[in-house]
Amino acid sequence: MSGLAPGPSDAASELKGLPPLRVEGRLRRLRDRLVAAGVDAAAIVEPANVRWLTGFTGSNGTVVVLGCGEALLVTDSRYAEQAPAQLAGAGCGGEVEVVVARRAAEAVAGRLEGATRLGLEDSVAWSEQIRWSEAVEVETVPLTGIVESLRAVKDSAELARIEAAAGIADTALASVVPMLRPGITESHLQQALDGAIRSAGAPGPAYDTIVASGPNAALPHATPTGRRLESGDLVIIDIGALVDGYRSDMTRTFVLGDPSDRAAAMLEAVERSQAAGAAAVAPGVEAGEIDKACRAVLDDAGMGDAFVHGTGHGVGLDIHELPRVASGSAATLEPGNVLTVEPGVYFPGFGGVRVEDLLVVTDSGCRPLTLHPKTSLVPLPA
C-alpha cells in the first residue's frame, strides 16, 4: 500500500535515457474500436489494459469509457493521490476524471444513462458482471481482445523499454554462463540469473526464470530444482527482465561438454527451425505462417511430434499477449508488433532444446532484440 507511489516519469528514470511513456490518443483509438463493435460504453479492469490506457499502475482501477467522449478512472482511496499524478504524467490528466469509490459499478451508474451495451473484458468474474448488470440497466457484452489488439502495436517509448529489458537479460545471462559446470544446481543458477538481472538495472525478472537440465529439460515449463548439472547435460535457460512494466523473453540451450549425437541433432534442428520462423516474420504475414515455417523444419528432421507447444506470443506489459503465434493464428503482423519465435523439442527421460528470440516487426521484416548466442557448447573444466 502506498499513498505516494512514483509517477510514470519517476519510474522511467529507473534506466536513464528512456523516452517518457505517453498515452495520448489511445482512448480515442479504443473508442473507434468500440463504435465499430457496436458497444457504447466499456469498463476496463485488466491491470495491463488500465495501465496502457492511462498510465495508472495501482492494483485497483477501472477505466470507464462513456459514449459521449468522457472517460473515468475509478479507484479506491489508497490511490487518491497517485492516480491523478500518474494520469497527468502520462498525458491524460485532462481527459480522464478520477473517481474515488469502493465499487466502480455503483459509482458510475448515473453516468451510464443512455448507454445500451456495456463492454466488459473476458476475464471479468461472474460476480462482477452481475454487479454491473444490477447497477446499470444495460446489456453487458464481451470486449474480447479489443484493448489487447491495440496494445499489440508498440510505440517507440514502449519498444525502448522492451529493448532495454532484452539487453539486460543478455547481460545477465552472459555474466552467469561461466558458472555453468557440473555440480551446480538449477536453483543456484536461477538465483544467480535473477541477481544479475537486478545488478544490470532492472527491478527483477519478467517471469519465473527457468533453468532446466538433463531430463528436466524435457519439461517445457520446468521449475528449477536442486538437481546438480552433469557433464553431457542439455541445459535450457529461459530468462527475461522487467523495465517500467515492460518485459522481455529469451530462451537459450547449452550443452555441458561434448553433446551426444542425439543432443547435437536436436540442437541443430531447433536452431534451423527458429531461424526459419524468424525469417518468416514480416509485416503483412499471418502469424500462423511463422508456426508453419518452424514446424516444417522439425517435421523434416523427424522431430515434429516432439514440438509440443505453440511457436510464440506477443510480449509487452504482459509476458503473453497478442499476437498469438500458433497453428491457425490469422493475426496479420504489423510494424511495432513484438513477438517471440520459440520452437523446442522435448524427449521425456532424455532432455530438450528450445531457442527463443524476441523480435520486433519492422517496415521491411523484423529485428531481433535478444542477441546472446542461441546455443552454446560449454567446455568442461580441465
Site string for Zn ion, 351-380 (x = CB under 5 A): -----x------------------------
Which residues make Cβ contacts (< 8 Å) with residue 191, sequence separation at least 6?
A: none
Site for Zn ion in 209-238 (CB under 5 A): 238
Q: How many CB atoms lie within 10 A of CB 99?
A: 16
For 218-235, letters b (16+ CB in 10 Å) and e give: bebebebeebebeebbbb
**Cβ count near 66 (within 10 Å):** 18
Site string for Zn ion, 153-182 (x = CB under 5 A): ------------------------------
| 340, 341, 358, 375: which one binds Zn ion (CB under 5 A) | 340
Site membership for Zn ion, residue 274 (CB under 5 A): no
Residue 365: count other Cβ atoms within 10 Å of its Cβ: 15
If one asks whether residue 249 binds Zn ion (CB under 5 A), the answer comes out as yes
Expressed in angstroms, the distance from the first to the final Cα of the chain is 53
Q: Count CB neighbours of 183 within 10 A.
A: 10
Query: Which residue, 275 or 339, has its beta carbon nearer to Zn ion?
Result: 339
Q: Which is nearer to Zn ion, 233 or 238 (CB)?
A: 238
Q: What would the grid cell of residue 5 be?
A: 507511489
Smallest gap from Cβ 356 to Zn ion, in A, equals 5
Residues 279-338 that bind Zn ion (CB under 5 A): none
d(CA 345, CA 352): 5
Q: Which is nearer to Zn ion, 138 or 200 (CB)?
A: 200
Q: Contacts with Zn ion in 22-41 (CB under 5 A)?
A: none
CB of 175 to Zn ion, least distance (A): 19
Is the CB of residue 147 less than 8 Å from the CB of residue 317?
A: no
Pick the stretch among 31-39, 48-56, 245-253, 366-374 that binds Zn ion (CB under 5 A).
245-253
Q: Which residues bind Zn ion (CB under 5 A)?
A: 238, 249, 251, 340, 356
